[in-house]
Amino acid sequence: MTLLAWAAAIAFAVLGAGAERLASVWPDEEASRRRPGPRTALLAAAAAIAGGAIAWRSSLPPWATGVHLLILALLVALTATDLEQRRLPHLLLDPLIVVAVLFVPFNPSVTPLDALIGGAAAVTFLGVLGLVIRGGVALGDLYRVAPLGLLLGWPAIFVAIFVAALLAAVTAIALLATRRVGMKSYIPFGPFLVAGAVITVLREPDLLGHLAAMAGSLIAR
């Protein structure tokens, strides 16, 4: 791994742990005052792996890699509040949407048309799914999947949603088998959406620089 990737991994480990701790004490009306535990370590480790892997994998221009990392930072913070409070504060959600929208015309790897189709298709799909499966998709998930659709574009966003659904199903089965939750327990889908998006970004060669590198070589010729 490069020095930048190590730096990103360390920074995101601190961010993951810090966001998880902050979500347990602020705001006051939502504060559980829960002590650090396995969730703190898990979110810190997951954030470190995601941040380090994106920085290491990316061959995008530095500013574009920075946008990906900024979006990831907001997603990590939202994941912490979702897990702790079952809520997505607009203080984090609104900047995520704004950054994703502003990035659309400048994203080196996803065309504006694909980005807009991805965002619209993702919101429509989850919206219909939420109507079919009552309680399966929260309104906040629609706000969160829209910027993910803009970032990943069409059809990569559906890969992310499929991976998220698979991870959610496996986790739910494991928690039920170990009696950590019951059949009526609420398991937030948002963190799995974030995981699915990160896995898709790292898995799809185009999203972190393949197209950008091709465009650069054509211009050089």
Give the C-alpha separation, 101 to 147, whole Å: 7
User: For residue 194, how many other CB atoms are within 10 A of its CB?
Assistant: 22
Predicted confidence (pLDDT) per residue in 144-159, tens digit: 999 999 999 999 999 9
Cis amide linkage into residue 155, ω under 30° from 0: yes
Instruction: Give domain limits for the chain.
Output: 3-220
For 52-107, the pLDDT digits (tens) are 999 999 999 999 999 999 999 999 999 999 998 888 889 999 999 999 999 999 99
Q: In the structure encoding, which two tokens stand for residue 186, read together? A: 């609420």
The predicted structure's pLDDT at residue 217? 44
What is the reported pTM? 0.89
Residue 151 identity: L
Alpha helices in the chain (DSSP H): 3-23, 38-57, 62-85, 90-103, 112-132, 139-152, 156-177, 190-203, 211-220
Residue with tokens 């607009």: 90
**Does residue 186 sit in helix, strand or coil?**
coil
* Omega prior to 27 cis, within 30 of 0: yes
Give, in degrees to the nearest 5, the angle at Cα 150 between 123 and 104: 145
Report pLDDT for 15.
96
